Structure 1
Amino acid sequence: MSAEALLGPAEVRELAAALGVRPSKQRGQNFVIDANTVRRIVRAAGVGESDTVLEVGPGLGSLTLALLAGADRVVAIEIDDTLAGALPATVAARLPARADRFALVHADALRVTELPGPPPDALVANLPYNVAVPVLLHLLAAFPSLRRGLVMVQSEVADRLTAPPGSRVYGVPSVKAAWYADARRAGAIGRTVFWPAPNVDSGLVAFTRREPPATTADRAEVFAVVDAAFAQRRKTLRAALAGWAGSPAAAEAACRAADVPPTARGEQLTVADFARLAEHRPPRP
C-alpha cells in the first residue's frame, strides 16, 4: 500500500491532538507510530486478501490501515469512546476504496461474543498490555473460527505464552494458551516505535489453532486444575491440589490415577497432563 495511507509519528500526534486524546496508561494505550512496524506485523501474520481479520485496541488506526490494505475485511474492537468514534472517519479519509470493508465494534473485548459479518479467520492486534492474556484467551474461546493470529504483547508476557513445560516462566498463561493453539515467539519490537514509549520491551506471539487434548473433562474443569496447581507454585501437586481434590491424600490418588507423579510440580506438566488430572477429580460432597 502507499506510504501516504499509513500513519507516521506526525500523523499520529496530529490526530491525537485534534481529538484531544492523551494515551491512557490505565487502558494500556501505546500507539504505534512506525509504518515499517505495522507492515512487518501484517507480513508476519500472513494476512491475505481472503482473510477476515479481528483487531483489538486499534487506537488511532496505525495497524488497522495496514491490515485493511491486505485483508478482505477488518473488524476492530475498541473500548475508548473517543477513539471508537474517530476511527471510521480515519479509515474513510485514508483508505476510501476499502472503507466498506471495515467494521468497528465499540465494546470491551472481554465481553464481546458476537461480531458483525463473517466469522474472523485471524486475530492480529497490538493488545493492551494490562489485559493481553485474558483478552487473548477470551477471544480464542469465543471465536473458534480464529485459526491463526499474531499479537504484540509485553515481552515478558510473550515468553510466558510460548514457554514449554519445565521452563522457569511456564505457568497458567502457557497452559491455557496451549489448550487452544500452538504458540511461538515471532520477533521483538523496540520501544521507540510507540508513542508514548513504554517502559518495557515488546514481543510478537504467533499462534495456530489446534484441537485441545482428547478428554472427557471440559475446559472449565481443566482450567480449574491449572489454577490450583500454580496457585502454590513451589509445592508438589499432592499439596497444591489438596484444596481442589479435597485433601492431600485425594490429590495424590487423583495424580496416580492420571499417571502423573504426585511429587511433581505444575510447571512440569503438559496441558494433556492437566486434562487427565481433571478427569480424575474426586467427587465432591
Structure 2
Amino acid sequence: MEHSIDKNFRIKELIDNLPDIVISVDYPSGIIQYANVNAIERLGFSIKRAKTLRDLSYFVIPKYRRKYLQHWRDIKDGILIPSLVFEVKTIDCRIIWVEQKNIYIKQGDTVIRIHAVIRDITERKRLEEEMLQAFYFSENLFLHSPYIILLYDNEGYIKRQNMTFRAIAEHVDNMIPNYNVWKDKQIQKYGIDLIFKEVVRGRIMDIPRFPYTVKIKGEDVTFYFAGKAFPYMRSSREPEGFVVMLEDVSARQKREEETLETKRLESVGRLARGIAHEFNNI
C-alpha cells in the first residue's frame, strides 16, 4: 500500500514538473481526478470549478465545445483518439491553440483513466498559417503573373504553366502535344537550349531576347521574349527541373525597329540633301 502511495506521489510530482497542461480523467465518467500545476496556472478558476471534462469545456473551449464533447463520446464508444487540436481560453482571457494527446491507462483490456496532455501550439499554428499564406500568395503570383512562367522537368516536358502562357497558347494553331523543349528547333537555333542545360546543372541564367514564331489563325506571328531561368529544387539538393520566366517584349522590339527605321530614313534624307547641295554647287 505504501509502495502504491509512493508510486502515485512520484507520478504526480513528475506530471507537475511537465511544461504541458496535464489533466487526469476517470473513464468513462469524465470526472477530473487531478490537474497539474501548469493546468491550474494556465486555466485558473476554470479548472477549479470544473468537476468533469464537460464542465471544463463550457469554461475554456466555448468555440469547440460541441466538437470536443463529440470526441469524448467517440472515446466512450470505444474509438481511442490519439490527439486533438483546438482553441482554449486561458486565465488571462487569451485564446491559444493547443494539441491534446491522450494517454490511456488500462486495467486488463479496459480503459479506466485518461491522462490528457495539453501542449500550447499557438506559435506553431501561427507559423503554419504564415506558411500557408505565403503558399497562397506565391501560387496566386505564379498563376496571375504578367510574365509567362513555365516549370519544366529535367527531361524537358512542361509540368506546370501559368495563365499568361495559357492565354497565348489557346490561340496557337500548331501547339505540339507533349511539347519537349529539348527538341524545339527554334529554341536550338538561338542557343536557348544551351542556357537551359546550364540551369539544370544548378545555375541561374539570363535569357537574352529571342524571336519565336507560331501560327495563329493560319498566319505566322513572331513574338519576342526575354527573361530568366533558374533551377527548381524542393527537398533534395539536386534540381528536379527548371523554371523559365519570360517577358513578352514584342511591343518593345517593334518600337525599336520603328525607331531604327526612322533613323535610317533620316540618315538617307540627310545624305540625299547633301548630295543635292553638292550638285547645286557644281
Fold shared per TM-score above 0.5: no
Give the structure with the higher percent strand.
2
| Higher-RCO chain (CA-CA 8 Å, sequence separation at least 6) | 1
TM-score normalized with structure 2 length: 0.26
